[in-house]
Amino acid sequence: MYAIVQVRGVVNTNREIKDTLKMLRLHHVNHCVLVPDTPAYLGMIRKVKDFVAYGEVEPETLATLLRTRGRLTGDERLTDDYIRAHTSYANIDEFAAALCKGEINLRDLAEIKPVLRLHPPRKGYKTIKRTFQQGGALGYYGPKINDLLYKMR
């Protein structure tokens, strides 16, 4: 499972990139979506790699994000009680572990919003014009995306 965070805005950008971000449900900076590891999604990620940060998310980080930033329709918080009532999992931690393994999908629960609206990272981005490998904030993070997501919780 990949976590994708939009880092840059799309003013004066190619229409293909705007459309791909729209298909990924990334409409604003600092929004995050969770997508499975499929060839279709990897192709879309490659197309927008200069506008997003992405990497493999761990269950602990995902559980923290769902607890703090997960929302239901009506802008209500995602709680353990809701997970217990609508799934076969006891709490958000088990649900996050199942999401990372691919056993369940966020779309299976209709009331959970698919986009996590995050805060800007504490201490800020290094630069949004260079890739992560060059010391910036764009592109593939690998497992270090969990550090970025923790700073944005």
pTM above 0.95, yes or no: no
How confident is the model at residue 27, as a pLDDT?
Answer: 96
Report angle CA 110, 104, 89 to the nearest 5 degrees. Answer: 90
How confident is the model at residue 30, as a pLDDT?
Answer: 97
Tell me the CA distances in angstroms from 128 to 25, 133, 137, 149, one per residue in order: 20, 12, 5, 16
Domains of the chain: 1-153 (3.30.1390.20)
Residue 107 has pLDDT above 90, yes or no: no
Mean pLDDT of the chain: 95
The predicted-structure confidence for 138-147, as pLDDT tens digits, reads as follows: 999 999 999 9
How confident is the model at residue 5, as a pLDDT?
Answer: 97
- Give the whole-number percent of the chain exceeding pLDDT 70: 100
The three-class DSSP label of residue 4 is strand
